[in-house]
Amino acid sequence: MGQSPTAGLVDLHTHIVPGVDDGAQTPDESLAMARAALADGVRQVVATPHIPFAGMTREEFGQRLESLRQVLAGQGANLEVHLGAEVSLEPDILRWLAAGLAWPIGATRYVLVELPFFVLPPYTEDVIFRLQVEGYKPILAHPERNALLAAKPERLQVLVERGVLVQITTTSILGGFGVQAKSAAQAFLERGWVHVLASDAHSANHRPPLLTEAARAAERIVGADAWRLVSTNPAAILGGSEDVEPARPARRARQ
C-alpha cells in the first residue's frame, strides 16, 4: 500500500446546504453530513446545488450557505464549505451564467455540469465547447452514470481530449449505482480520463459524504494517483489552478 492521505480530503460535489434541492433537507441533516465527512478525513467540501432546480441566484444561495456555515461553526463542526453549483447542461447555460442564475465553483471559472442520465442531447458537445470559448472550464459530473457515455466511451474521450475535466462518483466505484456505472467508472480510470472523485452526497446515510473507501477502490486501479482525485486535484480546482492532471494507472505510466 502506498501513502494513503486520509486527512485533508476535498469533496468537490455535495448537496449539503439544507432545503435547496433533493439533498439535505434540514440543518440537522447538514450537520450530520458534515460530521460524517470530518470523520472520514474530509476537511473541505463544495456545496453544489442542482441548478436550475434550486431556482435561486448565486447571491441567494450564498446566503443559505452562510447560514449553514454558522450552524456548523456553532456546533464545532470544522468543515470548510465552499460555494459551487451543479448546473444542468442545457443550451441556456451561458445565459444562466451571465445572469447569475448559475455559477462556477468559488471564484474560479470551473463549472460543474450535469448531463441527463439516459441520453446525450444532440447539443452536448456544442454547448460544452461554447462554454470553453467563453473562458469557462467545464467539469463533467459523473459521466459514468450516463448510459450513453458508459456504452460509448469514445464520446467522452473527445471531450477529455478537448480539455473537459471528469468527476466520477464514489457510489459508482463502490457499485451502488449498478454494474454499468461501476464498470464505466473503472474503464474511465483505466484510460486515465478521471480528474476528480467526489461523493455527490445527498444525505448522511443514503448517499453519504465519504471519500476514503472509494479512493481505496480507485487505488486498486490507478495506484497511489487515486489520492490526487480526492485531495490535490479538487484543491487545485478550488484555487482556480490549471494544474489538474488525471490519475493514470501506474502500469501505463511505465510503458
- Which residues would be at the binding site for Fe ion (CB under 5 A)? 86, 200
Q: CB of 25: closest distance to Fe ion in angstroms?
A: 15
Residue among 200 and 225 whose Cβ is closer to Fe ion: 200
Residue among 11 and 86 whose Cβ is closer to Fe ion: 86
Residue among 40 and 86 whose Cβ is closer to Fe ion: 86
Residue among 14 and 231 whose Cβ is closer to Fe ion: 14
C-beta separation of 113 from 138 below 8 A: yes
Q: CB of 251: closest distance to Fe ion in angstroms?
A: 32
Amino acid at site 45: V
Q: CB of 6: closest distance to Fe ion in angstroms?
A: 23
Q: CB of 61: closest distance to Fe ion in angstroms?
A: 14
User: How many C-beta atoms surround the C-beta of residue 8 within 10 A?
Assistant: 13
Q: Which helix (H) or strand (E) holds 138?
A: strand 137-141
Q: CB of 206: closest distance to Fe ion in angstroms?
A: 13
User: How many C-beta atoms surround the C-beta of residue 73 within 10 A?
Assistant: 11
| Cα–Cα distance measured from residue 11 to residue 68, given in angstroms and rounded to the nearest whole number | 17
Which residues does residue 51 pair with via DSSP β-bridges, in sequence order? 87
C-beta separation of 60 from 49 below 8 A: no
Residue among 137 and 142 whose Cβ is closer to Fe ion: 142
Which residues does residue 198 pair with via DSSP β-bridges, in sequence order? 169
Using Cβ positions, the residue closest to Fe ion within the complex turns out to be 200
